Amino acid sequence: MNRPYTFINVAMTADGKIDTFERKGSAISSAEDKMRVDELRASVDAVLVGGKTLLNEAPKLTVKNEALRQNRIKQGRESNPIKVGVASNVNISLESDFIKVGPARIVIFTTKQTSISHIEKLRAVGVTVFVDDAPQVDLTNMMHRLKKIWC
């Protein structure tokens, strides 16, 4: 395969909702589900979020449980998976939790809609940034690049 093994994890209400109608995000997970997600996060190489989540929620995407982080280290891995963000215009604050909370390698896929100066600022703080010429990030190419990062 020319792309990494991937799966999606989504929290959903009993009536099938994954967000509020305002698209503001909503806490719908139980404590048990949050632990399951932390275990899942600890088991993977990377966690990917799209633009709305990246820019509106600035998720940490880190493994919260210390024992799970230590287990990753014992396995010869980093304490947290790689954080991957995808957005046509990544106007993200350099102070956001996505950037600041870690430690974790950070990779962002974007387009030329993101200003050159902002891309340079992201790279200056250690973010790997890939820029597509198209109006939207080519997700097939993104998956190929992600595969190359791990191989």
Superfamily grouping for domain 31-150 = Dihydrofolate Reductase, subunit A (3.40.430.10)
In order along its 151 residues, the chain shows pLDDT tens digits of 666 777 777 777 778 777 666 665 566 677 888 899 999 999 999 999 999 889 988 899 999 999 999 999 999 999 999 999 999 999 999 999 999 998 999 999 999 999 999 999 999 999 999 999 999 999 999 998 988 876 5
Give pLDDT, residue 79: 96
Structure tokens at 8: 């999606």
Give pLDDT, residue 53: 86
Residue with tokens 């950037």: 99
Would you say how long the chain is, in residues? Answer: 151
Give pLDDT, residue 44: 93
Q: What is the DSSP letter of 106?
A: E
Q: Give buried/exposed letters for 74-86 (b at 16+ CB in 10 A, else e).
A: eeeebbbbbbbbb
Give pLDDT, residue 13: 77
Give pLDDT, residue 1: 64
Q: What is the pTM of this model?
A: 0.88
46 touches 86 (CB < 8 A): no
Nearest-CA neighbor of 47 among 130, 128, 107, 100?
Answer: 107
85 touches 118 (CB < 8 A): no
Q: Are strands 82-86 and 128-132 parallel, antiparallel or unpaired?
A: unpaired
Give pLDDT, residue 12: 74
Give pLDDT, residue 6: 79
Contact partners, residue 28, CB within 8 Å, separation at least 6: 11, 12, 13, 17
Give pLDDT, residue 147: 86
